[in-house]
Amino acid sequence: MEADPQEERAAPSRPRLITRVVVGYRLGFLPGEWLQTWRRLDRVLARAHLKVKATLAPLEELPADTGILVVPPELREAAFEAAAPGTPILVTPASSAAGAFADLVARLEAGTEVSAEKYDPEQAAAAPKIVSYTGYTRID
């Protein structure tokens, strides 16, 4: 039995589940403003309670599970060469990254083309906490 092509087109495609957003840079050159961009993304994802890890990685060594790649405009072509086919690439300068990340979180929460799971902040607060000690001083 063959499937009707019109039924396949009418069936909604499932949104791609994102678990990692990578902020990319060139190996050997990481501007301070781009480091702050990665920290900003990490905080935005945490505030939205999304189960998405923000990772800072060079384009030459991208993780295999890269869901979305974020790069500055000057690395646009290098990002398309380095990323796996089909990986969404978000190109934004560091100066306007806050707005781009707000839009990204809105898209993830809407779940139309990309989506992310949410976690319960109350369960996260009740989970065991890892602390480290330096000498006799506890660091939380």
What are the tens digits of pLDDT across the range 42-77? 999 999 999 999 999 999 999 999 999 999 999 999
- Residue 119 confidence (pLDDT): 83
- Ramachandran assignment for 39, one of left (phi > 0), alpha (psi -120 to 50 degrees), beta (any other): alpha
CA 53/CA 36 separation, integer angstroms: 16
Instruction: Tell the burial category of 71 from Cβ atoms under 10 Å away from its Cβ (0-12, 13-18, 19+).
Output: buried
Give pTM, 2 decimals: 0.78
- Residue 130 confidence (pLDDT): 76
- Residue 12 confidence (pLDDT): 56
- Ramachandran assignment for 86, one of left (phi > 0), alpha (psi -120 to 50 degrees), beta (any other): left
CA 24/CA 97 separation, integer angstroms: 13
- Residue 137 confidence (pLDDT): 66
- Residue 121 confidence (pLDDT): 76
| Range 16-126: architecture per CATH | 3-Layer(aba) Sandwich (3.40)
- Residue spans of the chain under pLDDT 50: 1-11
Tracing tokens 């906490």 back to the chain, one arrives at: 129
Q: Which tokens is 74 given?
A: 């000057």
